[in-house]
Amino acid sequence: MSEKKETNKNKNSELRQDIVTGDWVVISTARAKRPDEFAKKDHEETDDNIDDCLFCDPVKSGQEKDTLIYNTSDGDWSLRVFPNKYPAFSRPAGGIIKHKEEGPYFWMESIGYHEVVVTRDHKKHIALLDKYRVAEILDAYQDRYIDLMNKRSVNFIDVFHNHGKAAGASISHPHSQLMAIPVISPYVRGELEGAESYHKMNKHCVYCAMLEWELEHKKRIVFESDNFVVICPFASRANFEMWVLPKKHKPYFERMSVDEKVNCGEALNAALNKLFKGLNNPDYNFYIHTSPCDGKDYPHYHWHIEILPKLNVWAGFEVSTGIEIITIEPEEAADFLRSQ
């Protein structure tokens, strides 16, 4: 390991390009740390008073009615979904969308749906569940996705999960969120355009091309099963970034079969568990990137989950250019995570 460190120290920084979006990242290992030195030092528990937890008993805490609830055989609930009490997007009152012009500016109500997916156990975050429980979470995402995608004015659904304060989780009880909105994420738009133009030039899906290379060379694989692969992407935007990808070309997350959900649950759980063990429970976000639900077809897109650990802070260069600097090579990050 110390030899490797020396090599990295003498190495010039690298600029790597994301072949889907064309975005650049910098890999600068000059101040190289060993992978385990990225671990969260003093693991502070978030202010964690179970008695006051809004999600341990959503009914008591006055959440709106559930849109979905899964029960266990002993009559307790295992997962529930309900509208966010403080939605960023909500339904228009009386079905009319308010909008206004003000000089050169235009304003409109942020309409849509904002729901919360809560699992039963306050302490058991996804890294600590088994693959069937994680598949149940994916099943809830899919169930709500299919319902919301057909609502009026919904063109895109973002499904995401914040773990830890630095990742934006204001309530420590494990929960994910769905936002069904009228506009398409610029980030996904970039990927859609990249996938489209790569297909035009190469008659092949750009994600399938990456997968074929990764599976052959095995430099950045963290986990692999029959149907799913977890990799540290070539042009990672964060230290220890991971992507969970279906091996077969699939544009639409919401079309996953029951078996695929279990396989995907296993892969997501493995990735998060390796992060948890290797880096002492760091904060992270994960989210699903899938084709928009705007009525168009996206045959050349390949849905996936991105996991972004919160180990680096965006400083002036990142904020001003959008080019991120990471300090561990994705190959070394994958090596380390794979061995956990």
Smallest CA-to-CA distance from 316 within 308, 307, 325 is with: 325
Contact flag: residue 56 with Zn ion (CB under 5 A): yes
Structure tokens given for 17: 């390009």
Single residue of 249, 277, 280, 325 touching Zn ion by CB under 5 A: 249
Interface map 70-109 toward Zn ion (x if CB under 5 A): ----------------------------------------
Closer CB to Zn ion, 144 or 173, in the complex: 173
CA distance 328 to 33: 8
Single residue of 122, 151, 247, 277 touching Zn ion by CB under 5 A: 122
Single residue of 26, 128, 184, 208 touching Zn ion by CB under 5 A: 208
Single residue of 116, 205, 305, 311 touching Zn ion by CB under 5 A: 205
Single residue of 19, 26, 39, 53 touching Zn ion by CB under 5 A: 53
How many residues of this chain bind Zn ion (CB under 5 A)?
A: 11
CA distance 165 to 122: 15
Least distance in angstroms from the C-beta of 187 to Zn ion: 7
Torsion sign, CA atoms 164, 165, 166, 167: positive
In degrees, to the nearest 5, what angle opens at C-alpha 286 toward C-alphas 171 and 212? 170
Least distance in angstroms from the C-beta of 5 to Zn ion: 31
Q: Is 163 a catalytic residue?
A: no
Q: What are phi and psi for residue 109, nearest 5 degrees?
A: -60, 140
Residue pointed to by tokens 């928009």: 292
**H or E element that contains 290:** none
Task: Using the rule CB under 5 A, give the single segment among 62-70, 95-103, 174-182, 205-213 that binds Zn ion.
Answer: 205-213
CA distance 214 to 220: 7
Smallest CA-to-CA distance from 275 within 48, 41, 33, 38 is with: 38
Contact flag: residue 173 with Zn ion (CB under 5 A): yes
Q: Count CB neighbours of 121 within 10 A.
A: 13
Smallest CA-to-CA distance from 178 within 238, 125, 253 is with: 253
Least distance in angstroms from the C-beta of 137 to Zn ion: 16
Q: Which residue among 125, 161, 175, 302 is the active-site one?
A: 175
Site for Zn ion in 277-296 (CB under 5 A): 289
Least distance in angstroms from the C-beta of 133 to Zn ion: 16
Contact flag: residue 302 with Zn ion (CB under 5 A): yes
Single residue of 38, 82, 145, 207 touching Zn ion by CB under 5 A: 207
CA distance 157 to 148: 8
Residue ranges binding Zn ion (CB under 5 A): 53, 55-56, 122, 173, 205, 207-208, 249, 289, 302
* Residues with catalytic function: 175
